[in-house]
Amino acid sequence: MNTHYKVLEFDIILSQLADHAHGANARSRLLSLSPILDETLCRRAVLDTSGARRLLESCGTPPLAVMDSIQECLHLAETGAMLQPDQLYQIARFTVACSRMADYLRKAEACEDRISFYGRAFCDLGELCHSIESSVDEERVFDDASPLLRKLRREMEQLESKMRDRLYQLAQSRKKWLADTFVSKRNGHYVLPVLKQFQNQFAGTVIDVSRSGGTVFMEPASVASMQQEWNAAAIEEEQEVRRILYTLSDLTAQHASELTANAKLMDDLDVLFAKGSYSLETKAREVFATRSRHMALYGARHPLLNPDSCVPLDLELNEAYCGMVITGPNTGGKTVALKTVGLLTLMVQSGLHIPCNEGSVLPMRDHVFCDIGDSQSLSQNLSTFSGHMTNVIRIMEEISQDSLVLLDELGSGTDPAEGTGIAIAVLEALRTSGCCFLSTTHYDQVKNYVQQTEDLMSARMAFDPVNLQPLYRLEMGKAGKSCALEIVRRLGMPSTIVAYAAQIVQEGLPVHTLPSPRLSRKPGRLISRSIPSAVRIQSWHMGDSVEVLPEKEKGIVYQPADEMGNVIVQIKGEKRTVRHNRLKLLVSASELYPDDYDFSIIFDTVENRKARHILSKRYDADATVILKEGNGQN
């Protein structure tokens, strides 16, 4: 199965669906279902599922036949083999089931469903069924299967009765010679247990000897002739039985095409009623896939989630939008939303009903691609980020404007700044390709990109800030927060650590500028002192070599921090104003330059330096010094 479909757990749906089938062939067909790419055929498949469900509801369980060995029996018959009674009996039972199914569907024609008219396609095999049922059952050929067979078996019964009577008479008259008076059968002969010392006095033939050797089992001479007659009749009886079985096998072969057609029809109905039964079980409804790009799901549920606790999904993306980016808290249901959309799309295009409310509609898709879950691969030496990006690259190579792409936490697993850039670039590429896509993110810049792009829709998973609980409800047209601090607090993170993290988020302070909570381990708990609220502005010096976070751009401090914590840094010849807490010291100015170093060499242009040199000696109206301030970036 397609790897993307497995990620969406479509294989589990098919496994549950196959459990509703009766025959092995129908189960195999259901397990190999795949999306239909023709709108007319897809609509017909959904309508057939609807018809099967209506028949189940109005007419009850259909008389489907278990026919796993029918094809094997037909193959043997067509090759001239002799079918055994149990195989012929299965053929007869199958023809009866076909007749009953035709009657069931005939009664259902009042429903005017296309599926009810399948009954008219069954071939009438009443003659074959009568011939088999009047001749055999699961174990043997009936005595009345032919006049000769009846005559031979009566003769055999009479001979057998005569032999037993004669043996009982001898047993009573020769008690002294016998080890016991019972009559038994050894090697196909009726015998008496004669004591070894009387063997020569007993007229007959030794057939067997006991383990101890003290008893011999002898066939009396007066019985031997009757045994010979019985053996001759048994040979004739066996030949007649074989003739009858060959005749029935040949008759079966003559009806092989009708039997095969009925088996195919029964198999089709087994598949359809399995779909209808699964629709009933999951409380699903009829939804059609259309060529329109309008997607709407109302009250949709993931089929593998408990319907009593699952929060329904309401999602709509009209033709004006090509994609949606979902934000919101961790464990808030973003991934489930993606999987629900993808899985229900696959189900509809496979002719299945889906659990949702009336009015839902899904567009036809030529492929459903997804990158969801942990893509780490030890065997291929791929990290989580590399694994995800490998999947994304493959997806972008295969998509068309009719594809559906589902991307979970796009750009995660690497540096946030670079991950943000990759995420926006990938979404932009998907947007321009014309495909439909749904993605999740925690990145603020991605959220801003979506809100500024006309044909992209923002959505968020709702979160209850009072009870600190995710609500698992999708809210369209809104961007959400990750709510990570609330979530870790609810999960039991010590309050001092949560407060420390909140201060870092609020002030934008790197860890080394804050006094950290002192944690000491005691049995079963962590104890920490409170975090001071005062924030110390780190001092910088002109000439310090620094790295600006999170972009990791290299620069040199031009002007130390003011009382507000703003530092002017020269980056690639441009002076920018940067918050002090976004700077990371690489090399201090004292290590790079001597005490009397002229920093104008670094910060001034050549023209400015010449002008300053001239003005230091005399006034010159043509000498101009151009001053550049920071660009005001925070």
Between helix 24-31 and helix 10-18 the angle, nearest 10°, is 160
Using left for φ > 0, alpha for ψ between -120 and 50, and beta otherwise, residue 69 falls in: alpha
Q: Based on the domain organization, do 332 and 425 belong to the same domain?
A: yes
Q: Based on the domain organization, do 69 and 106 belong to the same domain?
A: yes
Q: Based on the domain organization, do 193 and 105 belong to the same domain?
A: no
Tell me, yes or no, whether 399 lies in a domain. yes
Please answer whether residues 439 and 323 qualify as being in contact, where contact means their C-beta atoms are separated by less than 8 angstroms.
yes
Q: Compute the average pLDDT of residues 290-304.
A: 93
Domain count for the chain: 5
Tell me, yes or no, whether 95 lies in a domain. yes
Q: Compute the average pLDDT of residues 253-262.
A: 93
Amino acid identity, position 579: R
- The top-scoring range by mean pLDDT among 478-487, 569-578, 623-632 is 569-578
**pLDDT in the model for residue 238:** 94
Please answer whether residues 72 and 259 qualify as being in contact, where contact means their C-beta atoms are separated by less than 8 angstroms.
no
CATH number, domain of 218, equals: 1.10.1420
In this predicted structure, the answer to whether residue 634 has a pLDDT above a threshold of 60 is: no
Backbone angles phi, psi at 247, to 5 degrees: -65, -45
pLDDT-derived band at 572 (thresholds 50, 70, 90) equals: confident
**pLDDT in the model for residue 524:** 43
**Of 34-38, 145-149, 500-504, which gets the smallest average pLDDT?**
500-504
Q: Compute the average pLDDT of residues 560-574.
A: 83
Q: Based on the domain organization, do 296 and 431 belong to the same domain?
A: yes
Rg (alpha carbons) of the chain, rounded to whole number: 44
Tell me, yes or no, whether 197 lies in a domain. yes
Tell me, yes or no, whether 539 lies in a domain. no
Q: Based on the domain organization, do 303 and 433 belong to the same domain?
A: yes
Q: Based on the domain organization, do 278 and 293 belong to the same domain?
A: no
**Of 204-218, 247-261, 347-361, which gets the smallest average pLDDT?**
204-218
**pLDDT in the model for residue 196:** 82
Residues sharing a CB contact under 8 Å with residue 170, sequence separation 6 or more, in sequence order: 192, 220, 222
Please answer whether residues 514 and 532 qualify as being in contact, where contact means their C-beta atoms are separated by less than 8 angstroms.
no
- Domain hosting 301: range is 289-483
Q: Based on the domain organization, do 365 and 322 belong to the same domain?
A: yes
Residues sharing a CB contact under 8 Å with residue 447, sequence separation 6 or more, in sequence order: 325, 327, 441, 458, 479
In this predicted structure, the answer to whether residue 357 has a pLDDT above a threshold of 90 is: yes
Q: Which of 576, 556, 570 is nearest to 634 (CA)?
A: 576
Instruction: Give the residues across from 192 on adjacent strands.
Output: 218
Tell me, yes or no, whether 537 lies in a domain. no
From the CB of residue 583, how many other CB atoms can be counted at a distance below 10 Å?
A: 21
Q: Based on the domain organization, do 469 and 323 belong to the same domain?
A: yes
Question: Residue 458 and residue 441: Cα distance in Å, rounded?
Answer: 11
Q: Which of 458, 441, 576, 561 is nearest to 513 (CA)?
A: 561
Tell me, yes or no, whether 388 lies in a domain. yes
Look at strands 404-407 and 368-371 and give their pairing: parallel
Q: Based on the domain organization, do 587 and 550 belong to the same domain?
A: yes
Instruction: Give the residues across from 521 on adjacent strands.
Output: 526
pLDDT-derived band at 379 (thresholds 50, 70, 90) equals: very low
Q: Based on the domain organization, do 294 and 434 belong to the same domain?
A: yes
CATH number, domain of 556, equals: 2.30.30
pLDDT-derived band at 141 (thresholds 50, 70, 90) equals: very high
Question: Residue 406 and residue 404: Cα distance in Å, rounded?
Answer: 7
Q: Based on the domain organization, do 332 and 461 belong to the same domain?
A: yes
Instruction: Give the residues across from 614 on adjacent strands.
Output: none
Please answer whether residues 62 and 55 qualify as being in contact, where contact means their C-beta atoms are separated by less than 8 angstroms.
yes
Which is more confidently placed, 281 or 598?
281
- Whether the full predicted model's pTM is greater than 0.95, yes or no, is no
Tell me, yes or no, whether 625 lies in a domain. no
Tell me, yes or no, whether 135 lies in a domain. no
What is the residue-averaged pLDDT of the chain? Answer: 83
Q: What is the pLDDT of residues 80-92, one digit of tens each?
A: 999 999 999 999 9
**pLDDT in the model for residue 523:** 45
In this predicted structure, the answer to whether residue 612 has a pLDDT above a threshold of 70 is: no
**pLDDT in the model for residue 299:** 93
Q: Based on the domain organization, do 449 and 403 belong to the same domain?
A: yes
In this predicted structure, the answer to whether residue 505 has a pLDDT above a threshold of 80 is: no
CATH number, domain of 371, equals: 3.40.50.300
